[in-house]
Structure 1
Amino acid sequence: MTEELLGSALVEEATKKSGLVWVRGTGPARALWHVWHDGAAHVVGDGPGEQPLPGLADGGTVEVTVRSKDKGGRLLAWTASVRELSPGTEEWDAAVAELKGKRLNALDGEAMPGRWARECRVLRLEPRSSTTELPDGSLAAVPLPSEATTRRPVPAALPKLLFRKRRK
Structure 2
Amino acid sequence: MTHELLDRALIEEATKKSGLIWVRGGGLTSGPDAGRAAPDRPLWHVWHDGAALLIGDGPGEQPLPGLTAGDEAVVTVRSKDKGGRLVSWSARVTELAAGTPEWEAAVGELKGKRLNAPDGEAVLERWARECRLVRLEPTGATAAPPDGSLVRRPVPTAATTRRDAPAALPRLLLKRRKRR
TM over 0.5: yes
Compare 150-159 and 122-131 and name the one that shifted more. Answer: 150-159
Alignment of 1:2-151 (within 5 A): 2-25=2-25, 26=27, 27-131=38-142, 133-151=144-162
Change (3 A) 1:117 1:102: same
| Length, aligned pairs only | 168
CA distance in 1, matches of 2:174, 2:95: 54
Report the 3-state secondary structure (helix = DSSP H, G, I; strand = E; otherwise coil) of the residue aligned with 2:117: coil
CA distance in 1, matches of 2:55, 2:78: 19
Change (3 A) 1:132 1:75: farther
Report the 3-state secondary structure (helix = DSSP H, G, I; strand = E; otherwise coil) of the residue aligned with 2:179: coil
TM value normalised by structure 2: 0.87
CA contact under 8 A between 2:90 and 2:143: conserved in structure 1?
no
Q: CA deviation at 1:70?
A: 0.5
Report the 3-state secondary structure (helix = DSSP H, G, I; strand = E; otherwise coil) of the residue aligned with 1:65: strand
Unaligned runs of 5+ in 2: 28-37
Q: CA deviation at 1:159?
A: 4.0
Report the 3-state secondary structure (helix = DSSP H, G, I; strand = E; otherwise coil) of the residue aligned with 1:110: helix
Runs of 4+ residues over 6 Å off in structure 1: none
Deviations 1:118-155 (A, max 9, x none): 11101000000232521023311111111112235656
Report the 3-state secondary structure (helix = DSSP H, G, I; strand = E; otherwise coil) of the residue aligned with 1:141: coil
TM value normalised by structure 1: 0.93
CA contact under 8 A between 2:56 and 2:131: conserved in structure 1?
yes
RMSD: 1.6
The percentage of aligned residue pairs carrying the same residue is 68
Report the 3-state secondary structure (helix = DSSP H, G, I; strand = E; otherwise coil) of the residue aligned with 2:59: coil
Report the 3-state secondary structure (helix = DSSP H, G, I; strand = E; otherwise coil) of the residue aligned with 2:8: helix
